[in-house]
């Protein structure tokens, strides 16, 4: 089931650390390779020998050991995994993760990884309910960290309530889900996102107000359904989601090149706000304010990436465009769907009064060959989840 998957397992310092041993057994039984890391506090609860013996792989404990020539560097160790799992994740570890600390091996690996992170929190009820922990939890979730548990129950400290670490079987199931075991497993999906920057000279550029929030949420939702996502993003303000292949670009022409390089794909979603025009002649030196008067910029048309891919010899089976409009939203988007040759168009009104561009909510219409659906105003993450489910249903032929 998890054959060939590599799990970097960080064991924090809590009484629930003993459950990590059972988790290692389950993971190895399912064919996964486990690379264990034991924090200094974790070593107070389980012995390095038992962890290494069960994992059947070297145990890592010290950041500075990894600088030794024969050892794997911490960057490499954090990248070689398919998933990073923290069990038990203590209140202190959560705080360090939320704050971006990197003062030991575990926290450094967590900062250096480009993979998804799943935590199984475990702590005393009061510590779990403390506003600081809840703040950190919200921060970590917003950063894309997956969380399993804690559950309610009797705790080793004698209290009762939430804070008990999830059982090894539940953490094991959460690991399976995080490793792309959804309906889109094995499918490749391309998502474009963010604005493009079109240079005027080496220091100036033309841009737009796209934050990349909707495209980022969509890439994450497709990933959560098991898709292998290639995320081509312009200079967005929202960071790209973990667990997808990220290709950073600046201009529309670079975006087209990256997109064509990422084909073939099963589906492609074009959520980027691509600049329609670029400055025809980018100045090689910074333009100066001088006596010769105001500069006049001549424009050239950018390639239309969506239209190009819709007519490409490697056209994905499903091509979805976005239409950001400020008037006659549905009519313009219906015409655009036909003009660009895509299958679906997700249309929205980006007039400043809607607060949609750069905001956290979106109100969209889904335009397909068979008609137009008006979706309610929803958080962008919810729009993304619904659209991802529709894409999955379309690709797999299974109802949502």
Residues near ligand C5P, by CB under 6 A: 192, 252, 270, 272, 274, 276, 302, 304-306, 321-324, 336
Of 106 and 347, which has the nearer Cβ to ligand C5P? 347
* C-alpha distance across the termini of the chain, in Å: 24
Q: Could you give the count of Cα atoms lying within 13 Å of 367 in the half-sphere of its Cβ?
A: 20
Q: How many Cβ atoms are within 10 Å of 257's Cβ, its own excluded? A: 16
Q: Give the shortest CB-228-to-ligand C5P separation in angstroms.
A: 21
Q: Which of 53, 156, 157, 300 is catalytic?
A: 157
Min separation Cβ 51 and ligand C5P, Å: 48
* 3-state secondary structure string across 134-188: HHHHHHHHHCCCEECCCEEEECCCCCEEEEECCCHHHHHHHHHHHCCCCCCCCCE
Residue with smaller CB distance to ligand C5P, 65 or 373: 373
Report the C-alpha gap between 52 and 272 in whole angstroms. Answer: 46
User: Is position 157 annotated as part of the catalytic site?
Assistant: yes
Contact 37, 60 (CB under 8 A): yes
Residue with tokens 């480009």: 114
Residue 257 beta carbon to ligand C5P: minimum distance, rounded to whole angstroms: 13
The residue among 8 and 274 lying less far from ligand C5P, judged by its C-beta, is 274
Return the number of the residue (272 or 383) whose C-beta is nearest ligand C5P: 272
Q: Is the peptide bond before 243 cis (omega within 30 degrees of 0)?
A: no
Provide, rounded to whole angstroms, the least separation between the CB of residue 25 and ligand C5P.
47
Angle, in degrees to the nearest 10, between helices 17-29 and 168-178: 50
Q: How far is CA 100 from CA 81, 83, 107, 109, 261, in A?
A: 20, 19, 8, 11, 34
In the complex, the smallest distance separating the C-beta of residue 159 from ligand C5P, rounded to whole angstroms, is 53
Nearer to ligand C5P by Cβ, of 66 and 319: the residue is: 319
Q: Which residues are catalytic?
A: 157
């Amino acid at each position: 089931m998890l054959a060939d998957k590599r799990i970097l397992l960080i064991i924090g310092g809590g009484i629930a650390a003993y459950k990590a041993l059972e988790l290692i057994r389950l993971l190895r039984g399912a064919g996964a390779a486990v690379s264990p890391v034991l924090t200094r506090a974790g070593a107070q609860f389980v012995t390095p020998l038992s962890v290494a013996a069960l994992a059947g792989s070297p145990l890592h404990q010290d950041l500075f050991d990894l600088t030794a020539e024969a050892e794997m560097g911490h960057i490499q160790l954090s990248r070689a995994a398919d998933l990073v799992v923290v069990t038990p994740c203590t209140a202190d570890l959560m705080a360090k993760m939320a704050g971006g600390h990197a003062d030991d091996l575990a926290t450094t690996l967590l900062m250096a990884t480009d993979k998804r992170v799943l935590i199984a929190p475990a702590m005393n009820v009061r510590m779990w309910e403390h506003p600081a922990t809840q703040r950190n939890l919200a921060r970590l979730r917003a950063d894309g960290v997956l969380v399993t548990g804690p559950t309610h129950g009797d705790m080793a400290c004698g209290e009762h309530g939430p804070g008990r670490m999830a059982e090894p079987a539940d953490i094991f199931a959460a690991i399976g889900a995080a490793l792309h075991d959804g309906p889109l497993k094995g499918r490749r999906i391309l998502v474009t996102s963010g604005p493009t920057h079109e240079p005027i000279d080496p220091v100036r550029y033309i841009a737009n107000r796209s934050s990349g929030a909707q495209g980022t949420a969509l890439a994450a939702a497709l990933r959560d359904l098991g898709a292998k996502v290639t995320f081509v993003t312009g200079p967005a303000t929202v960071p790209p989601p973990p667990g997808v292949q990220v290709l950073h670009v600046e201009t529309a022409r670079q975006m087209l090149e990256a997109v064509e390089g990422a084909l073939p794909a099963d589906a492609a979603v074009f959520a980027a706000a691509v600049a329609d025009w670029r400055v025809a002649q980018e100045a090689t030196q910074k333009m100066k304010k001088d006596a010769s008067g105001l500069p006049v910029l001549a424009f050239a048309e950018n390639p239309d990436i969506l239209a190009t891919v819709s007519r490409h010899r490697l056209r994905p089976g499903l091509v979805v465009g976005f239409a950001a409009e400020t008037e006659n939203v549905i009519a313009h988007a219906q015409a655009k769907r036909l003009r660009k040759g895509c299958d679906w168009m997700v249309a929205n009104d980006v007039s400043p009064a809607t607060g949609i561009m750069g905001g956290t909510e979106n109100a969209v219409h889904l335009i397909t060959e068979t008609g137009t659906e008006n979706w309610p105003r929803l958080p962008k993450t919810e729009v993304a989840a619904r659209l991802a489910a529709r894409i999955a249903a379309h690709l797999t032929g299974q109802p949502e």
